[in-house]
Amino acid sequence: MDKLRLKIAFIGDSLTEGIVGASYFDILDKKLPQHELLNWGKGGDTVISLFRRLHEINFKPPLDIGFLWIGVNDVFVKTSWFFPPTKRLRGQPWAKSHSQFQEYYRSLLELLQDNITHIFTLPPLLIGEDTNNAWNKELTVLSKIIHDLSVSYPNVEFVDLREHFIPQLASKNISPYVPKSVFRVILDALFVKTPEELEKKATERGLHFTIDGMHLNKAGAEKIADVFLKKILSKL
């Protein structure tokens, strides 16, 4: 790619939208003012609701680079009895099986590959910073599905975000904190916004890269932005 101004889309859920926690997108937007960065994140999106939402987006002209980061909510919905009815009310159905997740993720790639020159796919990162909990083991399964699908497309590159976090967490004191209430997440979105507030909340909960086991604190957002920036620069 030798264009002076690239169109780069970031496609995902609340981690991309940047509402709840720190925003890696805002960091990248400041570092790449010469390019057009598009934030196509929506809080709570699953692989199914994202696929449906993308049909409403006009991709013309095609984009140069896309980052597809989705999947955590397909597992997070299982962490509390309260989340499934909430997801239904919001019109965000989740994959009920690995095969359904695979089916919809493949459909996402089929849709995007015709509209984006180069796609980076990312695995869902964390549900709690205890990487041995049941939810993170489930994310490992989804990560392999995403990896195996990605290698089937010449313009898709899998980026293992988890390798930038999990080894570092292995050497730290780990908190079991995972949000069990949607109201807790809403309160964090409303009242925990500045870097200082985010750091204080993460510290209170014994967390290192997130404020609640999922959404990023400043250190987590900076690490994600650094990984993404290197991938963008590799395509210039």
Instruction: Please state, in angstroms and rounded to a whole number, the distance separating the CA atoms of residues 201 and 175.
Output: 13
> 167-213 pLDDT, tens per residue?
999 999 999 999 887 788 888 988 888 889 999 999 999 999 999 99
Q: How far is CA 99 from each of CA 20, 22, 143, 222, rounded to the nearest angstrom?
A: 30, 32, 13, 33
Q: Of 13, 148, 4, which Cα lies nearest the Cα of 64?
A: 4
Q: Write the pLDDT tens digit of every residue in 32-66.
A: 999 999 999 999 999 999 999 998 888 888 899 99
Are residues 5 and 63 in contact, defined by beta-carbon separation less than 8 angstroms?
no
38: tokens are 């598009």
The set of residues, in sequence order, having a beta carbon less than 8 Å from that of 152 and lying 6+ positions away, is none
| Cα–Cα distance, 213 to 174 (Å, whole number) | 11
Write down the pTM of the prediction. Answer: 0.95
Contacts of 137 (CB under 8 A, 6+ apart): none
List domains and CATH numbers for the chain: 7-234 (3.40.50.1110)
pLDDT, tens digit, for every residue of 8-39?
999 999 999 999 999 999 999 999 999 999 99
